[in-house]
A and B are shown apart, each in its own frame.
Chain A
Amino acid sequence: MPNSRPNLHALCLLPAGLTGRVCELRGDESFCQRVREMGFGEASLVTKISGTTTSLCLVNGTRIALNHCAAMSILVERLPAGAR
């Protein structure tokens, strides 16, 4: 996926155990809105727990599972380990 910023990863590529900040949502309008309404929008922090195809993450203290397609559409900026 071509990235405008080099340190942006799709959420599914964020290594397990690391935290990232959501920078950009791709995908259709209704998906972006749902993600934002779930408190998962731009600037929120996500910690990846596991998975590359189906991802498991921690957002705001809630565990959320995303399928590959959803995790590909969320671009995060990787934060240094222990940033949380």
Chain B
Amino acid sequence: MKLPDHITLPAGKRPAKGPDRTPIYAMVGNPNCGKTTLFNALTGLRQKVGNYPGVTVEKKIGITYSQHGRPIQLIDLPGAYSLAARSPDEAVLRDVLLGRREDTPQPDRIICVVDASNLERNLYLVHQLLDLGRPLIIALNMMDMAATAGMRIDAKALERSLGVPVIPCEAVNGRGLVELKLAMSRIELPLARHRWDVPAAVAPAVAELQASLTGNDQRPPLVARAEALLLLTDFDTIRVAGSRPLSARTLGVLAQWRERWSAEKTDWSGALIHSRYAAINTLCTGVILRGRDQGPSTSDRLDAVLCHSVWGWLVFAAIMAVMFFSIFSLAEYPMNWIDAHVAALGTWVKGAMAPGDLRDLITDGIISGVGGIVVFLPQILILFFFVGLLESTGYMARAAFIMDRPMSKVGLNGRSFIPLLGSYACAIPGIMATRTIENAKDRLVTILVAPLMSCSARLPVYLLMIATLLPSTTVPTSTKAGIMLLMYAFGTLGAFGFAWLFKRYLFQGGVPHMIMELPAYQPPRFKEITRHMLERGWLFLKNAGTIILAISIVLWFLTTYPKHPDPAATPTEQIAHSFAGRTGHLLEPVIKPLGFDWRIGIGLVTSFAAREVFVSSMGVIFGVEGTDNDPAPLRDALRAAHWPSGAVLFTPLVCFTLMVYYVFAMQCMSTVAVVKRETNSWRWPLFQIAYMTGTAWLVCFVIYQAGRALGY
């Protein structure tokens, strides 16, 4: 059976529907074909990043201008090997192109980015797109890589056999961009000329489905045909929120054919894929000219070392060590600088404004709340510098390959490693880095356990508790370091333990198969890396500027109101009188079994803003000023604290239990905000608070009660 000769709708008619309507072009392509690079080159900084409503798929829209200066809206759709969806990302791609999404109009034209060095496989997606009968432009990217691999691609020949514009380009060097824009600006696009044979036995199914889609789902005939072909390999198994479902009639027809084929034990979807590849092979005969086999390429030689079972590990460990070291030590200077400037800003505002609640709100609420989060910006930028560097050189996929085996022991895949490692600095960039994990379940599990890795905001709490726990003069430093390491070990074990648990019980039946393409190695492109770094940094700041600001104000309110009746009350008395103080009292029955009193309770409440706030809260509650640089005075004050019964409050056991509490408890509003953003719902952050804080309570209860029973 043949597809009709001319399957393209007259292109000029659509965009011209209303004179003011900006035409919408969609960019699609296989993963790693250079789509993002091309999208950035076309749109520059005129981009908006959001989410598709109801799903956790990133929506990127940019504006570019045609040759005549008319704006064109470009949508960067998720990368995929095929329109048959296997993940929410791919389902969004499919549904946008088929016009099934309520939030996104069907694109007027499609730009398909194709990796020239891997043409056959990339043409599979092109082949499916041609069926759609929409105006199509092919950007034949990575021509340089194809040349390096000893291939010559005849773009003109490909254009002749497909009938749609084929523009050779190199997105990284900006080559071919002008030609691509010229093609995009054309009012009429030529019609697709390609024809291929659908296996005869599938034809009745295609026809029946097509009729049902036209009749019951209001699809134009050509789209209906493409969708029918797709449904036969896809069976519409993955559906996402925000997309219009198929009509019951169509689903009935589909189920019927599916049943019949499974009874006949014929694999028509396999046959369809096979016949597409056969058509592609015929297409490619005159298009790809392969030179002589050039032997192992540079990438092959590099892989021999970097994926080696011994050397690979050594190199990987070295890279991770450098990354970890930079995040912690290099970041210290800018962090101190930000810290000092935030403090200076607070002081300046304090001096410039008349005393009063507004001033305190600005200094103690907003500046210190948001400032306390912004100090992590350098660590975030450094982590994303490394993530960008590893991605752009192609090493990231190798790192995932190397880590896949150990990570698979807890049911995660290799891509979860870097986000978890980054979470030692701060869970926020770690969680933001999970976007490189394609499998939605693995990504969610990684997000759920990432905050268990001991982040740097826990350090001040650990340091204070260790100082309180052990007299600095008599105890060797190694013991203190040992306790610290123990906390890191608890967190790490907790993360892996919960990952295993979640994968086993919560997200059963996740696909255990992993197939991943390893792109060729490339020299790093610092422009792209910087861009990526700034984009993530900006997202983080936007978060700090909105949700974190709001929570800072609420927390400030809770510690300031109601006012102590005596205007001359000390800060200690004021905080005890405030809502936070009352909450501390209310909490006492819950936390007393852990050995904590209401004053520690206040610390737990206020440090929900960020864990390190615990230290300054203790400073306020125990009436010690200037706790930041020297823990000694606060340590002494804590040691002197007692229960009303006269018993010592901060016994070594309590100090230890408190540290363990901070290892497990979800005490970080910024993480909550980021998890909400990344998972696009409140369900997961709330679950995270419940399971982490619940675990913290349980573990602390066991430790404290066991410790008491043993006489500590």
Contact = CB atoms under 8 A, between A and B. Distances in A.
A25 B84 CA distance: 18
A29 B309 CA distance: 32
A66 B512 CA distance: 11
Given A30-B511, A53-B405, A60 B121 contact: yes
A65 B516 contact: yes
Contacts of A10: none
B515 A70 contact: yes
Contact of B515 (A29, A49, A64): A64
Nearest to A64: B517
Interface string B298-309: 011001100111
A38 B86 CA distance: 13
A56 B397 CA distance: 11
Contact of A31 (B82, B300, B404, B513): B513
A56 B517 CA distance: 10
A63 B518 contact: yes
B308 A50 contact: yes
A11 B309 CA distance: 18
Contact of B513 (A51, A62, A73): A73
Contact of A30 (B86, B274, B299): B86
A36 B270 contact: yes
Interface in A17-41: 27, 29-41
A83 B149 CA distance: 20
A39 B299 contact: no
B513 A37 contact: no
Most chain-A CB neighbours within 10 Å: which of B413, B414, B514?
A: B514
A2 interface: no
A29 B235 CA distance: 11
A61 interface: yes
B270 A33 contact: yes
Nearest to B117: A61
Given A56-B307, A67-B413, A34 B124 contact: no
Given A41-B277, A54-B405, A63 B303 contact: yes
Nearest to B308: A50
B255 to A, nearest CB: 15
Contacts of B84: 33, 37
B237 A30 contact: yes
Given A56-B307, A60-B118, A67-B413, A32 B517 contact: no
Contacts of B86: 30, 34
B274 A49 contact: no
Contact of A66 (B82, B269, B514): B514
Nearest to B123: A39
Interface of chain A, helix or strand or loop or mixed? mixed
B701 interface: no
A10 to B, nearest CB: 13
A36 B121 contact: no
B317 interface: no
Given A60-B118, A67-B413, A38 B513 contact: no
A27 B512 CA distance: 10
B149 A61 contact: yes
A69 B512 contact: yes
A81 B118 CA distance: 25
Interface string B388-429: 000000000100110011001000011000000000000000
Given A32-B270, A54-B401, A60-B121, A37 B515 contact: no
Contact of B307 (A36, A50, A66): A50
A42 B271 CA distance: 11
Contacts of A39: 120-121, 124, 277
B401 A70 contact: no
Nearest to A44: B277
Interface string B498-536: 000000000000011111111010000000000000000
Given A37-B124, A41-B270, A67-B413, A56 B303 contact: yes
B514 A63 contact: no
B588 to A, nearest CB: 50
B93 to A, nearest CB: 14
Contacts of B273: 33, 36-37, 41
B32 to A, nearest CB: 10
Contacts of B303: 49-50, 56, 63
A13 B469 CA distance: 55
A67 B514 contact: yes
Given A39-B121, A56-B401, A61-B118, A69 B518 contact: no
B535 to A, nearest CB: 27
Contacts of A51: 307, 309
Interface string B224-239: 0000000001000100
Interface in B351-402: 397, 400-401
Contacts of A70: 513-515
Given A33-B233, A63-B518, A69-B512, 4 more contacts: A37-B82, A51-B307, A60-B121, A67-B404
Interface of B: 81-82, 84, 86, 117-118, 120-121, 124, 149, 233, 237, 269-270, 273-274, 277, 299-300, 303-304, 307-309, 397, 400-401, 404-405, 408, 413-414, 511-518, 520
Across the A-B interface, the 10 shortest Cβ-Cβ residue pairs: A63-B518, A67-B514, A70-B513, A39-B121, A37-B82, A65-B401, A69-B512, A36-B273, A65-B516, A54-B404
18 contacts: A31-B513, A32-B270, A37-B82, A37-B84, A39-B120, A41-B270, A41-B274, A49-B304, A50-B308, A54-B405, A61-B149, A62-B121, A62-B517, A63-B520, A64-B518, A65-B518, A67-B408, A69-B512
